[in-house]
A = this chain, B = another copy of it.
């Protein structure tokens, strides 16, 4: 359903008598939060898509055995529905550069990368392909490596970490209300956050890295200079990008630097091997990427993980759902926290997407809308649509 209404997050359906079915608690998620979107992005062919859709577990019977979409004969029809959507759709930028916009799973509950088929198609058509991994490099990039690359055989030649001065000042303790004012102290303090992302991408994932500063008009020259120095000190190249103002010309420096970086030999390494247990996989990400001291979980969650292991899902990668505002699960812990623990609240098997979602904090699968609906401004004036932007 192409609709977004927080009122539908948590509902009771099939009321009004037996003609409407048996009452049950239910809820709507938006498309990007669904396992179908994750599958769509990881499937390598229509056959693989159908196979994975059929594997989705939709319920458990009274004997606690999974009931899959296939058991309801739904996999065929679902594949038919997605058949045309599965072809990567080619669009172009305002400067006529071709691009695929194809698939977009959340980077918390899912793996946050576009489709495997689009990336592979692009690689056949162009010398250099740029793709995006959602949220911070602890979330999107980790999942890009450990889930998308692992499963598809894709290997990136280089990585661009996009940083903003205001975000780094925030991580250095600056107040959001005064974030646009020059604050060299906060910037210097906040650099620890970026430094860790650089280390993770370069040393943990094994991908050559460059930092692109997404330059805002409120950034002062003093801040830009300081940031350049700090990133250089951290051992990474840094380039200022002004594409938001100058279009393609604003990223020419960056493009050249990336092309050069791609020549550098590299070897992508996963955060954990396939044969590690689910618990070990969580621990590897927690300690190596998030720099937590430990992973904690209730007996119930530990039992669930053990059961998944016993059911033969131990070889799957894990997909950690946590806040994008901190390396820890506490959105208020800025900078580069250490010594924290990663508490696993819940575990969910995505049997079709072929990963185990590890929920570490609140996740929202049906976002709210702004307080003032965008619809209020949209109108038809003299036959022309106004108010869309």
Contact = CB atoms under 8 A, between A and B. Distances in A.
A79 B379 contact: yes
A163 B378 CA distance: 48
A80 B329 CA distance: 42
Interface in A302-324: none
How many copies of this chain does the complex contain?
4
Contact of A10 (B9, B20, B80, B296): B20
A6 B377 CA distance: 34
B7 A21 contact: yes
Interface string A25-39: 111000000000000
Nearest to A366: B20
Contact of A380 (B15, B79, B298, B341): B79
Contacts of A375: 73-74, 76-77
Most buried by B among A72, A77, A383: A77
Contact of A12 (B23, B72, B299, B332): B23
Nearest to A62: B18
Q: How large is the interface on A (under 10, 10 to 19, 20 to 34, 35 or more residues)?
A: 35 or more
Contacts of A14: 6-7, 10-11
Nearest to A297: B330
Nearest to A379: B76
A26 B76 CA distance: 32
A7 to B, nearest CB: 4
Interface in A201-238: none
Nearest to A332: B299
Given A77-B376, A299-B331, A380-B79, A25 B19 contact: no
Given A10-B17, A16-B25, 20 more contacts: A6-B14, A6-B21, A7-B21, A9-B16, A9-B20, A10-B16, A11-B11, A11-B12, A11-B15, A12-B23, A15-B25, A16-B27, A17-B25, A73-B376, A76-B378, A76-B379, A77-B376, A80-B380, A83-B380, A299-B332
Nearest first, the 3 closest Cβ-Cβ pairs linking A and B are A76-B379, A10-B16, A77-B375
